[in-house]
Amino acid sequence: MTPPQRRRRHPKEQPPPEPLKQGPRKEPERLYVLTGSAEGRERAALDLVTLIVARADPPPSSTPERAALIRLCAAPLSVAELSAYLNLPFSVVTVLLTELLTAELVQARAPIVRQAIADRSLLEAVMHGLQKL
């Protein structure tokens, strides 16, 4: 039996990936439910795996969903986990977090992204960690 046949593609000419420093670009229009109108507002460059840590207890004036976010990240949690536990879309969580970051109620720990020249010690650390599984 012969498997179906694919044809190889090649890297497109493109600038090196800088996913965390992006200006305005074409994106699907998102729904903002809890955040009011976020049109034209700057959103912090948050990755799915940016770790968020609370810097303080939620102020009494916090809305329930903001208070919930702050309480959730008493220990570090990724934006993806916050989105999952709060059952909110990723983009809504990033808008909420942008406000909390601006108010210095939470702190963001940026992820390590793939580099043109990979950090070998990072790769080795991951390999070592997987070996222990």
Ranges within 5-44 binding another protein (CB under 8 A) = 5-12, 14, 17, 19-20, 22, 26-31, 34
Label residue 74 exposed, middle or buried (CB < 10 Å: 0-12, 13-18, 19+).
exposed
Tell me which residue of 54, 44, 66 sits closest to 110, measured CA to CA. Answer: 44
Q: Is 118 an interacting residue with respect to another protein (CB under 8 A)?
A: yes
Structure tokens at 93: 């969580």
Residue 51 as a binder of another protein (CB under 8 A): the answer is yes
**Minimum distance from residue 126 beta carbon to another protein (Å):** 6
Q: Which of 15, 40, 42, 128 binds another protein (CB under 8 A)?
A: 128
Judged by CB under 8 A, the residue of 55, 56, 59, 88 near another protein is 88
Compute the distance between CA of residue 96 and CA of residue 13 in angstroms, rounded to an integer. Answer: 36
